[in-house]
Amino acid sequence: DGGITQSPKYLFRKEGQNVTLSCEQNLNHDAMYWYRQDPGQGLRLIYYSQIVNDFQKGDIAEGYSVSREKKESFPLTVTSAQKNPTAFYLCASSMRDRGLTEAFFGQGTRLTVV
Amino acid sequence: QKEVEQNSGPLSVPEGAIASLNCTYSDRVSQSFFWYRQYSGKSPELIMSIYSNGDKEDGRFTAQLNKASQYVSLLIRDSQPSDSATYLCAVYSGNTPLVFGKGTRLSVIA
């Protein structure tokens, strides 16, 4: 089955801890994205990557880091510098720059600070 | 800054009625327009794409695009309680990630 897999589904972080959210896709998509969603809010872009070994900051990149060593994988690290990390994190992917591209989402990771 | 605006709702319609969801966008060179449905606690699911002016129908869903007015809408005919969800409008402007509106919450009353 082709798709985007995020893990874990639920994640708990202690104060001062770094945590990494996994995102893997087997759709052969070039571009991958990380969004954050807070209750009652829309999607805010954290980071995105259009090709391997390259990524760009989105609107709210502070306190987050990413890597793109493989086309299939785009992990997101939430660092201790992110002061309010509790949110629903969504990974998405799309074909790159075909002019008409839509994005598909994984099932999300819900992160809670304890 | 590119913006996509939606009425947050909630929009309440009776079962069997037509639900009309609206979206405006700021970037005149936007090329592609998408509607996603998001159930509470779940991730967004793509339900409609539209690329040129006019109407596009898919089952009970119709997307309408008017680029001159920078306006895109989604009509849901014969609304069902299972259509109750938040509907996100997304806009693509070329070589940049999709820009999402904050979504409109739809409630279909049985």
- pLDDT of B1 reads 73
Which burial class, exposed, middle or buried, applies to A107 when counting CB atoms under 10 A from its CB (0-12, 13-18, 19+)? middle
Question: What pLDDT, on a 0 to 100 scale, did the predictor assign at position A10?
Answer: 96
H or E stretch covering A66: strand A64-66
Residue B15: the pLDDT is 98
* pLDDT one-digit tens code per residue, A71-111: 999 999 999 888 899 999 999 999 875 555 789 999 999 99
Confidence of residue B29 (pLDDT cuts 50, 70, 90): confident
| Residue in A closest to B9 by C-alpha | A40
Confidence of residue A41 (pLDDT cuts 50, 70, 90): confident
In which band, very low, low, confident or very high, does the pLDDT at A33 lie, cut at 50, 70 and 90? very high
Residue A3 backbone dihedrals phi, psi, to 5 degrees: 170, -170
| Per-residue pLDDT at A60 | 95
What tens digit of pLDDT does each residue of B83-104 get?
999 999 999 887 788 899 999 9
d(CA A33, CA A46): 8
B101 interaction partners in chain A (CB closer than 8 Å): 42
Q: What is the pLDDT of residues B2-18, one digit of tens each?
A: 799 999 889 999 999 99
pLDDT value at residue A100: 53
Residues 49-68 of A with CB under 8 A from B: 50, 58
| Chain A residues touching B31 at Cβ < 8 A | 99-100
Q: What is the pLDDT at residue A44?
A: 93
Whether B60 and B76 have beta carbons less than 8 Å apart is answered as yes
Cross-chain Cβ contact A102/B32 below 8 Å: yes
